[in-house]
């Protein structure tokens, strides 16, 4: 119940703020995020995002998946499945930006 509530709140909060903030990510920060995605997320999801201990994050694998749920998964993590929460390290905007990049496919 609490989860759904939180989900709602966040869904609402970034429907307002995502667009404006995402555009504010500097190219330097974007590069840092992509680096982190490849090398740190990559330690479980694979450098090429084809999966490892964690599931694949390729455009195919993410196709049709809901942005809010994906973003929540990254933000809060899935303790049962070894996914750590990235709250505190990544902002909501950064997470949404990263998921968009993943859905497009990360240049290798």
Partner 1 sequence: MKQQITKILFILTFVLMGCSGSIRGVGDMGLVIERASGRIQVVETTNKTILGGVKGLGDLSHASAVYSRDGRYAYLFGRDGGLSKVDILTQTLVKRVIQGGNSIGGAISQDGTLVAVSNYTPGGVRVFDSTTLELVADIPAKGEDGELSKVVGLVDIPGQKFVFSLFDAGEIWIADLSEVAKPKITKFREIGEKPYDGLVTPDGRFYIAGLFGEDGLALLDLWNIEKGPRKILQDYGRGAKKLPVYKMPHLEGWAIAGGMAFLPAIGRHEILVVDTNSWEEKGRIPVHSQPVFAMGRPDGRQVWVNFAFPKNDTLQVIDVQSMKVVKSLKPGKGVMHMEFTPRGEHIWVSVRDGDRVEVYHTDSFTKLTELTVEKPSGIFFTSRAHRIGL
Q: Which residues of this chain interact with partner 1, rule CB under 8 A?
A: 35, 38-40, 42-44, 46-48, 50-53, 77, 79-80, 82, 84-85, 89
Within a 10 A sphere around the Cβ of 71, how many other Cβ atoms? 22
CB of 59 to partner 1, least distance (A): 17
Q: What is the three-state SS of 24-63?
A: CCCHHHHHHHHHHHHHHHHHHHCCCCCCCCCCCCCHHHHC
d(CA 108, CA 47): 9
Cβ proximity to partner 1: between 52 and 59 the closer is: 52
104 Cβ neighbours under 8 A, 6+ residues apart: 59
Cβ proximity to partner 1: between 7 and 47 the closer is: 47
CB of 46 to partner 1, least distance (A): 6
Cβ proximity to partner 1: between 17 and 36 the closer is: 36
Nearest to 103 by CA among 63, 53, 47: 63
Cβ proximity to partner 1: between 17 and 54 the closer is: 54
CB of 47 to partner 1, least distance (A): 3
CB of 51 to partner 1, least distance (A): 6
């Amino acid at each position: 119940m609490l989860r759904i509530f939180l989900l709602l709140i966040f869904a609402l909060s970034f429907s307002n703020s995502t667009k404006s903030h995402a555009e504010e990510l500097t190219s330097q920060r974007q590069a840092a995020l992509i680096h982190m995605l490849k090398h740190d997320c990559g330690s479980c999801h694979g450098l090429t995002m084809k999966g490892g201990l964690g599931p694949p994050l390729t455009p195919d694998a993410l196709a049709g998946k809901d942005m809010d749920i994906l973003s929540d998964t990254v933000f809060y993590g899935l303790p049962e499945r070894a996914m750590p929460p990235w709250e505190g390290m990544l902002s909501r905007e950064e997470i949404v930006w990263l998921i968009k990049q993943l859905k497009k496919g990360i240049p290798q």
